[in-house]
Amino acid sequence: MASGEAAEWSLLEMVPNKLFINGRWEEAEERLTFDVKDPATGRVLSSIADASPADAIRALDAAVAAQDSWAATSPRVRSEILRRAFELVIRHTDELALLMTLEMGKPLAEAKGEVAYGAEFLRWFSEEAVRISGRYGVNPEGTGHMIVSEHPVGPCYFITPWNFPLAMATRKIAPALAAGCTVVIKPAELTPLTTLFLASILEQAGLPMGVVNVITTTRAAAISEPVIADPRLRKLSFTGSTPVGRRLLSQAADNVLRVSMELGGNAPFLVFEDADLDLAVEGAMLAKFRNIGQACTAANRFIVHQSVAKEFEHRVTERVQNMRVGRGTEKGVDIGPLIDQRAVSKAQALVADALGRGARVLTGGREVAGEGCFIEPTVVTDVPLGSSLLSEEIFGPILAISTFESEEEAVALANSTEFGLVSYVFTQDLARGHRMITQLETGMMGLNAGVVSNAAAPFGGVKQSGLGREGGVEGIHEFLTTKYTLVPVS
Ligand code: NAD
Q: Are residues 58 and 111 in the same domain?
A: yes
Q: Output the residue whose Cα is nearest ligand 1's atom 26.
A: 161
Q: What is the pLDDT of residues 432-484, one digit of tens each?
A: 999 999 999 999 999 999 999 999 999 999 999 999 999 999 999 999 999 99
Would you say residue 116 lies in a domain?
A: yes
Domain check: are 251 and 314 in the same one? no
Domain containing residue 349: CATH number: 3.40.309.10
* Banded pLDDT at 283 (limits 50, 70, 90): very high
**188 in ligand 1 pocket by Cβ < 6 Å?**
yes
Share of the chain above pLDDT 90, in %: 98
451, 192, 159, 391: CA torsion to nearest 10: 50
Q: Which of 241, 346, 465 to mutate to test the pocket of ligand 1 (most atoms within 8 A of CB)?
A: 241
Residue nearest to atom 41 of ligand 1 (CA): 262
Q: At what angle do helices 75-91 and 93-104 cross, to 10 degrees?
A: 70
User: Is residue 471 situated within a structural domain?
Assistant: no
Q: How many domains does the chain have?
A: 2
Please check whether residue 483 lies inside any domain of the structure: no
- Does residue 485 sit within a domain? no
List the catalytic residue out of 262, 376, 393, 407.
262
Q: How far is the CA of 262 from the centre of ligand 1 (A)?
A: 9
Q: For position 462, what pLDDT does the model report?
A: 98
Q: Which of 20, 59, 64 is nearest to 181 (CA)?
A: 64
What's the pLDDT score for residue 3?
Answer: 63
Instruction: Tell which atom from ligand 1 comes closest to the C-alpha of 217.
Output: 11
Closest Cα partner for 453 from 161, 142, 116?
116
* 320 and 248 inside one domain: no
Any ligand 1 atom below 6 A from CB of 203: no
Q: Do 165 and 273 belong to one domain?
A: no
From ligand 1's centre to the CA of 160, what distance in Å?
6
What is the predicted pLDDT for the residue at 490?
81
Q: Is 189 in the pocket of ligand 1 (CB under 6 A)?
A: yes
- How would you list the strands of the sheet with 135-138, edge to edge? 135-138, 144-152, 480-488
Q: Cα dihedral angle (222, 224, 227, 230), rounded to 10 degrees? A: -80
Overall average pLDDT of the 189-215 stretch: 98
Question: For residue 427, what pLDDT is reported?
Answer: 98
Residue range(s) defining the domain that contains residue 64: 3-131+149-263
User: What is the interface pTM, i.e. ipTM, of the complex?
Assistant: 0.96
> Is the domain of 157 the same as that of 295?
no
Asked whether residue 138 is assigned to any structural domain, the reply reads no
pTM, to two decimals: 0.97
Q: Is 114 in the pocket of ligand 1 (CB under 6 A)?
A: no
Integer CA distances (angstroms), 387 to 79, 416, 483, in order: 49, 13, 49
Is 265 touching ligand 1 by the criterion CB < 6 Å?
yes
For ligand 1, say whether the CB of 104 is within 6 Å of any of its atoms. Answer: no
Helix (H) or strand (E) holding 144: strand 144-152
In this structure, the answer to whether residues 226 and 273 fall within a common structural domain is no
Whether 219 lines ligand 1, by a CB cut-off of 6 Å, is: no
- Indicate whether 392 and 446 sit together in one domain: yes
pLDDT, tens digit (0-9, with 9 covering 90-100), for 321-379 = 999 999 999 999 999 999 999 999 999 999 999 999 999 999 999 999 988 999 999 99
The residues, any chain, with a CB within 8 Å of residue 481's CB and separated by 6 or more, are 150, 151, 152, 153, 258
Provide the 8-state DSSP code for 387. Answer: -
253 and 288 in a single domain? The answer is: no
State if residue 240 touches ligand 1 by the CB under 6 angstroms criterion.
yes
Q: Which atom of ligand 1 is nearest to the CA of 470?
A: 40
- 3 state SS of 77: helix
CATH number of the domain bearing residue 216: 3.40.605.10
Q: Which atom of ligand 1 is nearest to the CA of 240?
A: 30
Q: Which atom of ligand 1 is nearest to the CA of 296?
A: 34
Identify any residues that bridge with 325 across adjacent strands, giving them in sequence order.
335
Is the pLDDT score of 50 beyond 70? Answer: yes
Q: Are 369 and 226 in the same domain?
A: no
pLDDT score of 2: 47
Distance of CA 413 to the CA centre of its chain: 25
Asked if residue 170 lies in contact with residue 239, where contact means CB atoms within 8 angstroms, the answer is: no
Paired strand residues for 107: none
Do both 195 and 90 map to the same domain?
yes
Are residues 293 and 249 part of one domain?
Answer: no
Q: What is the 3-state secondary structure (H, E, C) of 296-352?
A: CCCEEEEEEEHHHHHHHHHHHHHHHHCCCECCCCCCCCCECCCCCHHHHHHHHHHHH
Give the model's confidence band at 52: pLDDT under 50 very low, under 70 low, under 90 confident, else very high: very high
For ligand 1, is residue 475 a contact (CB within 6 Å)? no
CA of 148 to the centre of ligand 1 (A): 36
Residue 1 reports pLDDT greater than 70 = no
Is there a catalytic annotation at residue 13? no
Please work out whether the CB of residue 252 comes within 6 Å of at least one atom of ligand 1. no
Q: pLDDT value at position 5?
A: 87
Mean pLDDT of all residues belonging to the chain:
97
Cα gap 461→458, rounded to integer Å: 10
Q: How many helices (H) and strands (E) does the chain have?
A: 16, 20
Cα angle 20, 25, 27; round to 5: 95
Q: How confident is the model at residue 318 (pLDDT cuts 50, 70, 90)?
A: very high
Q: Which residues contact 248 (CB under 8 A, 6 or more apart)?
A: 159, 224, 228, 236, 238, 259, 261
* Ligand 1 contacts CB of residue 421 (under 6 A): yes
Residues in the chain: 490
Asked if residue 482 belongs to a domain, the reply is no
CA–centroid distance, 432 to ligand 1, in Å, is 35
What is the C-alpha R_g of the chain? Answer: 23
Q: Is residue 477 assigned to a domain?
A: no
What phi and psi values does residue 288 have, to the nearest 5 degrees?
-95, -45
Give the Å distance between the CA of 184 and the centre of ligand 1: 16
For residue 394, how far is its CA from the centre of ligand 1 (angstroms)?
14
Give phi and psi for 487, each to the nearest 5: -120, 105
Query: Which sign does the torsion angle of CA 355, 359, 360, 364 carry?
Result: negative
C-alpha 263 to ligand 1 mean position (Å): 7
C-alpha span between 370 and 174 (Å, rounded)? 40
In eight-state DSSP terms, residue 129 is G
| Residues 70-88 as b or e (16 or more Cβ within 10 Å = b) | bbebebeebbbbbbbbbbb
- Which amino acid residue places its CA nearest to atom 10 of ligand 1? 188
